[in-house]
Amino acid sequence: MTESKIVAMYRIKNEERWIEKSINSILDICSEIVILDDGSIDNTLEICQSFDQVVDISHQSNLPLDQVRDKNKLLKMALKRNPEYILSLDGDEVLAPYSKEILLEELNVLYPENSVFQFQVLYMWDVPDKFRCDGFFQNVWRSRFYKIKNQPTDLCYENSVFPGNLHCNSIPDNTNGIDKPINSNVKILHYGFYDKELRNWKYSWAESHNVTNSEQDINMYLISGKGPRSGPNGMEFKKLPKDVVVEI
């Protein structure tokens, strides 16, 4: 089957724990990778630079938080590579095994005319084969992959209602097809809440930045089975099939 030119884009900061696994998971899919590093002080940059397919890295530091500003800059970097498709990932996300075979079939056979694909995100928890599946976590889909053909010449991300433009879309807001994405069988394994230390840090950060603009204790789901975003029975989990487990 035909392999299209796919360019991946990452906006990252201090992702040395996961970024190598993330990039390795897309090497057989993506021709090139562009990265915007928002002031990493760990080994993130060195790890990224070790990959030949990372063709452009922009590093910035000491700028106020603005995800829309950064993603628009990153989008320009990706478009300069003349991609047929763009894949948008976070530095703590890994594509599950067999993603290439799944994606090639979807692009060439099942949905060749479609422009936007969304992937299910599985939030890995404590051990490599367990993911959380209650409340917010039970059915999370994100549009992360889109075709460049027939897109507007002014593709862009738009401001969100949250401080620092948090929670802006993963793909440009004016992407043709964004309102009717295909549910791909590709899965994203998300490690941002993987262990207790990470979850406590994310909870403290979310509380201090008021990322939901809410008076409720809505962020409790990050560290417990409590709060409006958890399930009615508290935390619940499922196991990955053995053949798609990524060793950590």
Residues in CB range of 35: below 8 A, 6 or more apart: 9, 10, 11, 12, 48, 54, 56, 57, 58, 74
Q: Which two tokens stand for residue 134?
A: 């209650």
Q: What is the pLDDT of residue 207?
A: 83
* Secondary element (H or E) of residue 158: none
Least confident of 13-17, 45-49, 214-218, 225-229: 214-218
Specify the DSSP class assigned to residue 235. -
Query: What is d(CA 60, CA 28) in angstroms, rounded to the nearest whole number?
Result: 29
Query: To which residue do tokens 């994405």 refer?
Result: 181
Specify the DSSP class assigned to residue 165. G
pLDDT in tens, 189-228: 999 999 999 999 999 988 887 665 555 678 899 999 998 9
CA distances, 158 to each of 10, 72, 76, 87, 185 (Å): 18, 9, 14, 18, 28
